[in-house]
Amino acid sequence: MKHLGTVSNLTKKEMDENLDFQFPRASAYDEKIKKYRCEAELVIADTWKLPIKYESQLNDDDRHIVTVNGGIVWGNLRRIDKTLQQVKKIKQKETTPAGSN
């Protein structure tokens, strides 16, 4: 999410409003290093879904460090960016008062 926001020039709020992770599930767990391998669907602006794979590992403070390692390739990033920019334009038009350009 942090890197996607940099690519898309979107705020955290805009990303939170338009990106949703659905059906997260653990597919493997390594107890020695407290690391989960997981899968989920990334839903972008309610328009399309992208299956992703990620890892979540607990650090020394028992906080999850998450790394996406499958599913989001460069072409997907461009499509996500394009979709989110279109949604942003639509929302800006909806909130702009009539007659002001």
Look up the domain containing 64 and give its range. Answer: 2-87
Residues 6+ apart with CB under 8 A from 44: 18, 19, 50, 79, 80, 83, 84
Quick check: is 99 in a domain? no
Quick check: is 98 in a domain? no
Q: What is the pLDDT of residues 34-78, one digit of tens each?
A: 899 999 998 988 888 889 899 999 888 988 898 887 667 777 778
Quick check: is 61 in a domain? yes
Quick check: is 100 in a domain? no
% of the chain at pLDDT higher than 70: 85
**Number of folded domains in the chain?**
1
Quick check: is 93 in a domain? no
Quick check: is 92 in a domain? no
Q: What is the pTM of this model?
A: 0.69
